[in-house]
Amino acid sequence: MPSLKKNGRMLYYSPLFITEKPKNGLIKIHGGTLFDYYFVIDKKMNGKQRTNVIIQQYLDGLLKLIEQHENNKEMKIRGTSYIINKRTAEKIGFKIVETDILQKIILIYNYFNILISNSIAKNKLSFPKLNKTITFDTDVSQLLERKNYIKKLNKSLKSTIAKNV
């Protein structure tokens, strides 16, 4: 990851929200790496608090992504997650799409890293259910329409996290 970041192929918008460099009008978004999870998430937090931090970091990164690309409303954005559920994804402006076979293979190949990241997120050994993984996409115009909601949700999560620290 460090070399991909250094050469500009991967961009961090927040400590747990990474994107690939735009290609053919599409930005692929990713959660943080195993090392990001390990070093960013407070070890004293319980599973719910950790999940709140992860989602808050996703929202924070998403807001920065929106701001950077707000003049390119047609830019497509796609991601796959086992952390964000369908309801949350739809509320912030994404629609659920079929996870392609290549993405499923990548998830299986990276299962051990996902297992460790998921266990860090839940603060216990937690086997991710890859069949519950969702792929979602949108474009910048849809996110701009939901920007105020995303900001409000991000602020609410930040407040919740601050109360629990």
Question: Is 4's pLDDT higher than 60?
Answer: no
Longest dimension (CA), the chain: 43
Q: What is the pLDDT of residues 118-165, one digit of tens each?
A: 999 999 999 988 888 889 999 999 999 999 999 999 999 999 999 876
Q: What is the pLDDT of residues 82-100, one digit of tens each?
A: 788 889 899 999 999 998 8
Distance CA 110, CA 93 (A): 28
Q: What is the pLDDT of residues 67-85, one digit of tens each?
A: 999 999 999 999 988 788 8
Which of 85, 92, 70 is closest to 156 using CA atoms?
92
Q: What is the pLDDT of residue 5?
A: 58
Q: What is the pLDDT of residues 6-65, one digit of tens each?
A: 566 789 999 999 999 999 999 999 999 989 999 999 999 999 999 999 999 999 999 999
* Domain around 10: 2-164
Number of domains in the chain: 1
Cβ 164 vs Cβ 49: under 8 Å: yes
